[in-house]
Structure 1
Amino acid sequence: MSKNKRSELLQKALLLFYRNGFHATGMDLVAKETGVSKTSIYKHFRTKEELILAVLRLRDEGFRNDLYRRMEETSETPQGQLLALFDVLKDWFKEDSFKGCMFIKASAEFQDKNHAINAQAFAHKQLLTDHLAKLATQAGYPHPEDLARKLVILKEGAIVMAAMSHTTASADEAKEIAKVLLAD
């Protein structure tokens, strides 16, 4: 499988897993929807779990790069970027393709804390927390790691509520709470 074909497989598998869930998406469906035979898929990914891990890495990189870029475009200051997080989320919630967070879904479907997929999902959240802590440090907050964890909790709650309510209101509500945290 060429590098382009592998990339295309991962992109299509990402959309399938995001839309249908991990357990509900069988390898027969992945093969059918991607046009890649199961034999070829298994030459590159020994198991479905290896494919899921590769998809999560792809989603992590793409999501974080897009999120950070859009936060920087929204505000030039670290404090402004911390608030911009919720503006970017609101834009995401408006997208027709929004179906919640792939990492929350992965963690829910693979709940064992020692499972590689659960660990990969948590690693994504930790990278986001680290980035917010860096911004909080640059903004001069006294306990940047604590603040970052609280902002991530707000972010995750907003995502879950947006997915469940099918509205964007939770982004605005989380931003209002974030303003209080940032003012303290």
Structure 2
Amino acid sequence: MRANDHGAGIRNQVVQAAYAMFARRGIHAVSMAEIEDGAGLSAEVVGEWFSSRDEVGAAFLQRREVEWFYGVVEAGIKQRGVSPEDRLLAIFDVFDEWFQRDDYEACTFITVMLEADPDHPLGLARLGHLSRIRDIIAAFANEARLDDLDNFCLSWHILMKGAVISAVDGDTRAAARAKTMARALIAHHRPGLAFAEDNSFQEAASWLEAGF
């Protein structure tokens, strides 16, 4: 593919046209013809820059990562959190605001996560996105001097993904519930502290007994 300003403009036009459709309906539900119509470009012109809908989808996921995770989530974390632990927990405050919005949607997060094989271009894009999120979590956890970082990051990611899926199911308080469990997870990974003796764990355990 040519790398010039004209080409960048066409690529941007195509991805911009596909963005709302992908975000609302998921990638697999949108046809290449719809993308071409939305961009106001012929199949021949679009085909010069994208060989398939999935390639457009991968470009969309990259843009969404920049605009949503780095532009909204990471920025919100830095605004709210003072300590490294505060910044970790602030993830769920940002999620909570997101879940309350009238235009909340997570269609692409869910469909790509569940449908794309790991060796598929969309699957590779998804794995890269999730890996970069874990890198950010690991950096905060390292600053907080938590132990067993790999296990912590994987467990933390379960809470994040679970909150998103639960919000799609209609639980607008999913982020607040996940934040309670997140406090317990942080306590569990503080060096030298007994998980069962920490108040954060007791709080999470009480919540689980009452409402899960």
**Same fold, TM-score > 0.5, yes or no:** yes
1:158 deviation in Å?
Answer: 0.3
1:157 aligns with 162
- Kept after mapping to 2: 8 A contact 1:107/1:117: no
Q: Give the alignment partner of residue 103 of structure 1, picking from 109, 134, 140.
A: 109
Larger radius of gyration: 2
Give, in whole Å, the separation in 2 of the partners of 1:113 and 1:4: 30
CA RMSD of the aligned region, Å?
1.6
Decide which of 131, 148, 169 is 2:153's aligned counterpart. 148
2:113 maps to amino acid? S
* 2:39 counterpart of 1:29: no
Contact 1:14 1:55 in 2 (8 A): yes
Q: Distance in 1 between matches of 2:160 and 2:134?
A: 10
Q: Deviations over 1:116-159 (max 9, x none)?
A: 21121121111111110110000111122221211110010000
Q: Paired residues, what number?
A: 182
- Is residue 7 of structure 1 aligned with residue 16 of structure 2? no
Answering whether residue 93 of structure 2 is matched by residue 94 of structure 1, we say: no
The amino acid of 2:144's aligned partner reads A
Match of 1:181 in 2: 185
Unaligned runs of 5+ in 2: 1-5, 189-212
Q: Normalising by structure 2, report the TM-score.
A: 0.80
Identity %: 27
5 Å matches for 1:115-126?
115-126=120-131
Report the Cα offset of residue 101 of structure 1.
Answer: 5.2
* CA displacement, residues 17-76 of structure 1 (integer Å, 9 cap, x when unaligned): 111122210011112222222222111112222111111111122222121111000112
Greater RCO between the two (CA within 8 Å, min separation 6)?
Answer: 1
How far, CA to CA, are the matches of 2:76 and 2:151 in structure 1? 23
Q: Secondary structure at the match of 2:136?
A: helix
